[in-house]
Amino acid sequence: MTKQEEKRRASAVLDTPVGRLRVVASPRGICRVTFGARGRSDADGAPAARQHLAAAVAQLREYFAGRRRQFRLPVELAGTRLERRIWRVLCRIPYGSTVSYGELARQLGMPRAARAIGRACASNPVPVIVPCHRVVAADGSLHGFGGGLWRKQRLLEQEGARRPLERAARQPHRRV
């Protein structure tokens, strides 16, 4: 990224139940969300970047207050074609739901690509907005979250999500 492109970006630091988040916007959309942010907001930047940033901050506040289930924001996702494809599918996982890495791979028509799903989740530049926290292991356990597993757990609790094993335990046993 050039210095000129950097100057066109705007950022904000937001206090949330999962710690401080830094949200960065370009004139094209939200391009980065990072956990454990330090420093202050930098509201300079192109007018479009400031607009995207204001919308993201408002929607994240609504999400953490329990008043938003889906983000409606333009995002600028830099990644490989496969990563972008996976991130688009992540956005379709319903609020309060989880899916396993393997199931997501099957949905994409790549049944042996669970590890690729995990790598794409790990490189997601806009966690929370692109909900990689909704992807869990086949047994329902939590694995790999860039912000730390405690944050993944907290985000799932925020949404009232039941992991696959918990859903199975709540279903009545059937006799065959």
| 66, 158 Cβ separation under 8 angstroms | yes
Token code pair at residue 10: 């705007």
> In the annotation, is 121 catalytic?
no
Q: Which of 31, 91, 121, 132 is catalytic?
A: 132
* 169, burial (CB in 10 Å: exposed 0-12, middle 13-18, buried 19+): exposed
Cα dihedral 93/96/102/104 (nearest 10): 0
Q: Of how many residues is the chain composed?
A: 176
| Residues 46 and 24: beta-carbon distance below 8 Å | no
Which one-letter amino acid corresponds to residue 18?
A: V
Show which residues are catalytic.
Answer: 132
